Amino acid sequence: MATILAALPGVLAAEVTIAALGDSLTQGYGLPQEEGFVPQMQAWLEAEGADVTLINAGVSGDTTAGGLARVDWTLTDDVDGLIVALGGNDLLRGIDPAVSRENLDGILAAAEAAGVEVLLVGIEATPNYGPAYMEAFNAMYPDLAEAYDVPLVATFFEGLREASTSEAGIGAYMQADGIHPNAEGVALIVEAMGPAVLDLVERAD
């Protein structure tokens, strides 16, 4: 809607502010500031004509518990929308998915109470902790998205799925640690997730 209103003569569309609440993937770990997720997504949205400011509320190492602890002061009066991209560090630490689910539920409840539109971004579990853990972890994102009636991006790394089957492989788009995307990987992630974030901007306007 922001794009449509901006195109109408005599109608000024208010700028939308979106906070990206996340961990090192959101924060842009290991990259120059301008090559991180938030700056690249900001540039993508502006190229699509969106009048939006993205706030980088990513904290490296943060778990869902950390996100829950920060959500109230992240949701200032200026924030119109929230990208929730947490869970990767819960997975790395083997935190009980029931605990992670409860924390994400608290974040979504806080956004709902604040009247803020949300985009939930998941992370896919690996089989390291067994099939029961993987099933419980992977189920929490679609379950919560349905419960709160918010859109879901199944995994932050959706944009790298094609790369995983290419000749170069996914490693070409990752930093040396094998956990965080490099600048080219972030660009692919942004391209894949961009339409969902643009929809969030339009809903939040």
Distance CA 180, CA 188 (A): 13
Decide if 24 is catalytic. Answer: yes
78 catalytic? Reply is no
SS3 51: coil
164: annotated active-site residue: no
Nearest to 87 by CA among 31, 145, 44, 5: 145
CA–CA separation, 158 vs 172, rounded Å? 15
Q: Which member of 24, 62, 80, 90 is catalytic?
A: 24
Beta-bridged to residue 58, according to DSSP, are 22
From the list 80, 90, 180, 205, the catalytic residue is 180
Q: b/e map of 123-142 (b: 16 or more CB within 10 Å)?
A: bbbeeebeeebbebbbebbe
Report the catalytic residues. 24, 177, 180
